[in-house]
Amino acid sequence: MVAAEKQGPSTRKRYKRLVRWLVFLALLYLALDRIVMPVYTRHGQAIAVPDVTNLDFQSAKEVLESRGLRVVRVSDRYDAHVPPGHVVFQEPRAGSQVKKGRRIYLTISKGEKKIPVPNLVGGSERDARFRLGSIGLNLQNVDYTYSSYYPEGVVVDQSIPPQTEVELGTGIRITVSLGPAPSRFMVPDVVGKSLDDAIRQIRKAGLTPGTIRYQPTSELLPETVLDQSIPPGQEVSAGDTLDLVVSQYPTQP
């Protein structure tokens, strides 16, 4: 009985200390919740990342820095749809909620990828067509000329010098050798051919396309050769002119 009476006051003291600690912790929680946390939250208030894609780098940098954000130019890459020096991609993306001072990583466009033009001189027309097509370029036109240096069928010139960087799909014109120039030339028969084919054959024969006169007709497709000024098979001198009569649709009355 004496032992129980001795333990009673000690137990009550421990209980009172526990209650005091619980009250202290409760007050501390309220203080943190109502005072400290709101101040901290306002200090680190979230910022919506603006959309800076398609802006030039300097403008994008100014927009981001005006919002208290930091800018990192992380890489450059080719892009056919975004001009060189403009933002292709940003991370975090537009609309993301971030804290002030957050780094925004930008990828900048280098523009459309350029392709170096190959050296076509010395190869064949077929080789030129294949090489250009395999790298995304086009053989736009083929001219012919006589050459005492290059054998017949060999490319002697190209419209864009080798190693010049051009855009995908660019057309290249070439000039192909006809071999040594003969003293006399045979007039080709171009009647019934399209105007483009006729001009190509005239030049290949060593002649010069001359005046083109149009004649209305509904019997043939437009741009079809109806007549030529020198009969086919006749011998002429180098550079002589061959005039053409070409069809066109009749005008409506």
Please compute the mean of the pLDDT values over residues 105-110 and round it to a whole number.
95
Please compute the mean of the pLDDT values over residues 132-138 and round it to a whole number.
93
pLDDT value of position 14: 74
pLDDT value of position 15: 73
Instruction: Give yes or no for a cis peptide into 92 (omega within 30° of 0).
Output: yes
* 161-206 tens-digit pLDDT: 999 999 889 999 999 999 987 778 899 999 999 999 999 999 888 8
170: left (phi over 0), alpha (psi -120 to 50) or beta: beta
CA 208 to chain centre: 39
pLDDT reading at 71 higher than 50: yes
pLDDT value of position 21: 80
Looking at the DSSP bridge assignments, the partners of residue 72 are 105
User: 27 falls in which pLDDT band (50, 70, 90)?
Assistant: confident
User: 237 falls in which pLDDT band (50, 70, 90)?
Assistant: confident
pLDDT value of position 8: 57
pLDDT value of position 3: 45
Q: What percent of the chain has pLDDT over 70?
A: 89
pLDDT value of position 161: 97
pLDDT reading at 5 higher than 70: no
Domains and CATH numbers, the chain: 47-109 (3.30.10.20), 113-181 (3.30.10.20), 184-253 (3.30.10.20)
Please compute the mean of the pLDDT values over residues 121-143 and round it to a whole number.
94
